[in-house]
Amino acid sequence: MSPHEPRHLARHRARPGRRPHGDRARRAPAVGGQARRGRARLRPRERRRGTRRAPARGPPGHRRARPRLPARHGSRTPRRPDRLDDLVPDDSALPLVKDALRTNDTHLVAAALGPYAARHLGPHAWRHAVLKCLFTGVPVTAVHGLAHRARGDAELARMLGDFAAERTAAGRTVPQDLRTVLAHTAAPTEGAPEGVPAGALNGEEN
């Protein structure tokens, strides 16, 4: 120690094998490392609190929730396509029916082709709905008023023939239901059944 060096400064002067600040420097945590470790600890908790992705859908064919319309006029009962004929007197629910027919959900397609579709769906959309049943495997027995509405429908017969030709060219089997519908189209035209407008059989598009 220099004779001119104050005693309280000589205490902190570095010496070989000695830490200037003793063990306090070794015990003091690194601020940056501590912050990184803190963020790493928070991430799993954040994921557990709801930032994880939703579980995957079930296997192919898994039953999905059916879209529903909100209740109207104070009723709490949700409406599905298969109940529209009782709940909607006019054609204001046709967009719901058409949306259901655009899906490949067999439950929705079958429900959409109930009495409401037979009453309000136009000829062009109805014919494509019948083809949708054949394409997705929905039994044509789900189509309300099929025998009466397909009777004598030459355009539907042509569409069925094209569909059968495409299936045959692709090496795929022709569904038996196609022959059933085709047999209905060959029958002579009769009066419309109850609830189906006469113009809907072969008339203009609604």
Task: Give 29 or 166, the one with higher predicted confidence.
Answer: 166
Say what the pLDDT of residue 196 is. Answer: 44
User: Residue 130 in contact with residue 180, Cβ under 8 Å?
Assistant: no
pLDDT above 80 for 137: yes
Q: Which of 156, 96, 87, 150 is nearest to 118 (CA)?
A: 150
Average pLDDT, the chain: 71
- Predicted confidence (pLDDT) per residue in 182-192, tens digit: 999 986 655 54
User: Residue 136 in contact with residue 104, Cβ under 8 Å?
Assistant: yes
Distance in angstroms (rounded) separating the CA atoms of residues 41 and 168? 61
Report the predicted TM-score, pTM, of the whole model to 2 decimal places.
0.52
- Predicted confidence (pLDDT) per residue in 4-60, tens digit: 666 656 565 656 666 655 555 555 555 555 555 555 555 555 455 554 555 555 555
Say what the pLDDT of residue 116 is. Answer: 86
